[in-house]
């Protein structure tokens, strides 16, 4: 078992090669021991899984490890990741959880799976995950099968919560289309829409871990073709698409795909003196406009990083370009694409016109996120070397106004910016460039990539 399955934000690997019986049992055991160490009164860990075909098997192995450590699992079956997070904030017949584990491969290929983890409502990540990995990989403990658990209906409580929160939406004159991508969103979305009497069509609603229609990653354009075709019929005011575990959203009109930073800008307009945390890939437009009536904070990419920053700053919400939206305003500060859907619909109910508001924004050109393959060993070293080169760039390099190193290197130029950062989850470098026009953005891209390659 390679240690590389223990990543910055979660645990993720290939089933059953990396995520095999003994490994997963040990993960459950040593994590439960850590829960008892931090929360001595702990009794329960809530466990749910996504639509992947091997998720039920992983849940049995994981629960066996939890039981071996002396805790019990509150088991919710197939749910979106946000419902697993939601379990930390509710009560199940007098039983409250001290931690949660969501079994999910998110948007990875079907052979992948993994675990997203919290303790005491806070993300379990970075050094915590690496330390857990050390214990698991060095252990020779044998754990017997024991899949005893306590079944809970977390889905029902979540649906009722969302319906109550958005019961006053006035959308009778609109219809919307949704693409669940055969992921976990389909387990709850239709029921909520029906209870709120929202006119809708759902495509690929049935959870199916083979993902027979398209891959559940709405950040890739080819995965949005079907919902774009639906929108072209002019029947729908907006379209929504989700990743495999429904913690990430795409919002589209017939004309535009509204990325996470633009959605953040729209949401902020309806919050008094908003504090918004954005990642380093977010548009400068978002930061500048929000700072004109609130406060925008640039921080590291990654769902765990942003959850911690929300708590530290008491932010209204946080956002990633990829579609993770973390509402702390009227919610619990974690990324939930289902909840974000209804906040987006709420804007329409309040008279907001997505297309016209988008067209009022300053016009800038931004590249798609470009990934460059490298190795786990080299990726962070390359960033450090790039920082050194930027201290004394070539004579023909664009004028540098500022260098932001909160996560990788974001270089601010006279007419835009460029970003190169190391991915925390894959052996890749991630780049993005924004400028007043396409030629300038591509020039910044060329200059920065040339400097890095040299």
Inter-axis angle of helices 127-138 and 21-38, nearest 10: 130
d(Cα 204, Cα 116) in Å, to the nearest integer?
24
Inter-axis angle of helices 379-390 and 438-453, nearest 10: 110
Inter-axis angle of helices 260-268 and 284-291, nearest 10: 10
* Bridge partners, 67 (sequence order): none
Beta pairing, strands 72-78 & 44-49 = parallel
d(Cα 287, Cα 395) in Å, to the nearest integer?
30
* Whether 52 is catalytic: no
Count Cα neighbours of 87 within 13 Å in the Cβ-side half-sphere.
33
Question: What letters, b where the CB count within 10 A reaches 16 and e where it falls short, cover 266-299?
Answer: bbbeebeebbbbbbbbbbbbbbebbeeebbbbbb
Residue 362 carries which DSSP code? P
Q: Looking at 7, 52, 68, 324, which residue is catalytic?
A: 324
Residue in the structure block whose two tokens are 């675990």? 115
Measured in Å, how far apart are the chain's first and last C-alpha atoms?
35
* Whether 12 is catalytic: yes
Q: Are 219 and 257 in contact (CB under 8 A)?
A: no
d(Cα 454, Cα 390) in Å, to the nearest integer?
12
Residue in the structure block whose two tokens are 């990788």? 408
d(Cα 78, Cα 228) in Å, to the nearest integer?
28
Q: How remote is the C-alpha of 386 from its chain's centroid?
A: 28
Q: Looking at 106, 268, 316, 423, which residue is catalytic?
A: 106
Comparing CA positions, the residue from 204, 279, 217, 206 lying closest to residue 245 is 217
* Whether 446 is catalytic: no
Q: Which residues are catalytic?
A: 12, 106, 324
């Amino acid at each position: 078992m390679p240690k590389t399955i223990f990543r910055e934000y979660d645990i993720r690997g290939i089933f059953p090669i990396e995520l095999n019986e003994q490994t997963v049992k040990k993960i459950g055991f040593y994590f439960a021991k850590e829960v008892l160490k931090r929360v001595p009164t702990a009794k329960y860990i809530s466990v749910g899984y996504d639509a992947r075909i091997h998720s039920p098997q992983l849940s049995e192995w994981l629960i066996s490890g939890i039981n071996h450590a002396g805790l019990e699992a509150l088991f919710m079956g197939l749910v979106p990741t946000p419902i697993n997070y939601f379990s930390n904030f509710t009560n199940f017949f007098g039983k409250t959880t001290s931690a949660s584990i969501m079994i999910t491969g998110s948007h990875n290929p079907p052979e992948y799976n993994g675990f997203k983890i919290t303790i005491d409502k806070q993300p379990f990540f970075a050094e915590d995950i690496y330390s857990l990995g050390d214990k698991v990989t060095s252990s020779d403990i044998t754990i017997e099968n024991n899949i005893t658990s306590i079944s809970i209906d977390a889905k029902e409580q979540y649906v009722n919560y969302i319906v109550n929160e958005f019961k006053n939406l006035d959308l009778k004159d609109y219809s919307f289309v949704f693409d669940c991508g055969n992921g976990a969103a389909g387990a709850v979305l239709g029921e909520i829409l029906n209870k709120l009497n929202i006119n809708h069509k759902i495509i690929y609603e049935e959870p199916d871990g083979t993902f027979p229609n398209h891959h559940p990653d709405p950040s890739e354009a080819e995965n949005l073709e079907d919902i774009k075709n639906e929108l072209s019929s002019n029947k729908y005011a907006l379209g929504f698409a989700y990743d495999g575990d429904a913690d990430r959203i795409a919002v589209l009109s017939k004309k535009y795909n509204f990325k996470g930073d633009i959605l953040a800008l729209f949401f902020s307009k309806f919050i008094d003196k908003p504090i918004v945390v954005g990642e380093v890939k977010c548009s400068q437009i978002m930061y500048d406009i929000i700072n004109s009536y609130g406060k925008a904070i640039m921080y590291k990419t990654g769902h765990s990083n942003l959850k911690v920053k929300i708590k530290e700053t008491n932010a209204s919400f946080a956002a990633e370009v990829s579609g993770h939206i973390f509402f702390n305003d009227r919610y619990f500060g974690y990324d939930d694409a289902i909840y974000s859907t209804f906040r987006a619909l709420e804007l329409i109910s309040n008279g907001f016109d997505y297309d016209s508001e988008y067209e009022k924004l300053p016009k800038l050109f931004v590249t798609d996120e470009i990934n460059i393959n490298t190795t786990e060993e080299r990726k962070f070293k390359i960033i450090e070397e790039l920082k050194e080169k930027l201290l004394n760039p070539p004579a023909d390099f664009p004028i540098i106004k500022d260098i932001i190193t909160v996560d990788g290197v974001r270089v601010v130029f006279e007419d835009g910016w460029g970003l190169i950062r190391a991915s925390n989850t894959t052996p890749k470098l991630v780049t993005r460039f924004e400028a007043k026009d396409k030629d300038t953005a591509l020039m910044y891209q060329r200059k920065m990539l040339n400097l890095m390659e040299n």
